[in-house]
Structure 1
Amino acid sequence: MAWIGRLTAVAAAGGGVLAGYLGVVTGAVPVDVGVGRRTRPLGPQTVDIAAPRDVVFDVVARPYLGRTPRAMREKLNVLERGSDMVLAEHFTPVAGGRLTATTVETVRFTRPERIDFRLVRGPVPQVTESFVLTETGAGATRLVYEGRMGTDLWRLGEWWGAAVALRWEATVASSLAVVKAEAERRTGRQ
């Protein structure tokens, strides 16, 4: 009978590890212990857009500062709006769409040249990012994405950060492609 007790303890520990992993992956259980912090760059990613800077800025800002379009509600939920800053949840499918990672970020808008993001809650303890928009002439805009990601727990955190950064940067690249297409559609240039 002692083996049943041991088997139960092992199963409970395994279930706890699985629950902890799922919590970290989805951002439901943020790990921010402040020990062994390592940072890594995100980006840069550069996109040239055949649209004026104000149009590009508006394409990025409108879902946050205005009404979030129905098509974006599965990806974005604004929790609090101010005149130049919002607190927003971002939803990203992970694990082949079987799970959804939720991040909570502040997003600050400096019209027309900059949008800054700061992670409040997510799968890593620290992320800061920016979209910097510069005019490149003839009504075109260059959007440069850059950021920094911080993780805790030395090499373990570094490994986790590399895994998260891969998905994070792919999500950003997808968003930038949507911004480019929409800004160019609005100006009639593609």
Structure 2
Amino acid sequence: MSGRRLVRTAAWTAAGAAVAVGGYAGLVSGALPVDLGVGRRVRPLGPQILDIAAPRDVVFDVIAQPYLGRTTRATREKVQVLERGSDMVLAAHFTPLGGRWKAVTVETVRFSRPERVGFRLVRGPVPYVVESFTLTELPTGTRLLYGGELGTDLWRAGAWWGGKVAARWEATVAGSLASVKEEAERRSGR
């Protein structure tokens, strides 16, 4: 192989690798959403059930606070409200992925006081997510039920990607639910 041809092959290989890495980074971060509508597969998210020793109104207020209330510095690192209405917001959610990497999802969040908060993905690492927090009163407090579904395109390859995203998604939700429980119980003095 001639020197010039070797350099050209190396350049094309490097360019291909850069495109692949950039595409993966865009997909993971949500900056390059793939919504082809072909080979859609939907999988469940949850259920995750959490009993909280606090009244349902308090739990609802803790969930709604980052969206409808005053935003704290810690909240701004995780949630940014882009548009606010009376019972719905458009919000960007930031999830650390390690190092400088961060996934950004944009979702509508709809509030049905005091029993439900619903989320619908607008932009993210997969084309379709619908999820909700349903609050049920108990004699000892509130039961929070998380559930939803996540959809990906491109048949088996999309299902594989959906499994990767769903695992991280549900772990992030579990962390959020633990924070909701802690804050609701602190507010109610239990």
Q: Same fold per TM (> 0.5)? A: yes
Partner residue, 1:16: 19
Secondary structure of the equivalent of 1:104? Answer: strand
1: CA distance between counterparts of 2:70 and 2:40? 37
1: CA distance between counterparts of 2:45 and 2:125? 15
1:45 and 2:53 equivalent? no
TM-score scaled by structure 2? 0.97
2: CA distance between counterparts of 1:36 and 1:10? 30
Identity, % of aligned positions:
68
Partner residue, 2:78: 75
2: CA distance between counterparts of 1:97 and 1:19? 16
Partner of residue 136 from structure 2, selected from 134, 149, 174? 134
Runs ≥4 residues deviating over 6 A: none
Partner residue, 2:187: 186
Partner residue, 1:125: 127
1:2-26: CA deviation from partner (whole Å, max 9, x where unpaired): 1211111111011101000000000
List gaps (5 residues or longer) in structure 2: none
Partner residue, 2:158: 157
2: CA distance between counterparts of 1:69 and 1:61? 13
Partner of residue 65 from structure 1, selected from 60, 64, 68? 68
1: CA distance between counterparts of 2:77 and 2:175? 15
Secondary structure of the equivalent of 1:141? Answer: strand
Q: CA-atom RMSD, angstroms?
A: 0.7
2: CA distance between counterparts of 1:70 and 1:16? 35
Partner residue, 1:32: 35
1:44-76: CA deviation from partner (whole Å, max 9, x where unpaired): 000000000000000000110122122111100
Partner of residue 103 from structure 2, selected from 101, 106, 110? 101
1: CA distance between counterparts of 2:71 and 2:41? 35
Secondary structure of the equivalent of 2:146? Answer: strand
Partner residue, 1:144: 145
Residue 97 of structure 1 and its aligned partner are, at CA, apart by 3.4
TM-score scaled by structure 1? 0.97
Secondary structure of the equivalent of 1:134? Answer: strand
Residue 98 of structure 1 and its aligned partner are, at CA, apart by 2.9
Secondary structure of the equivalent of 1:157? Answer: helix
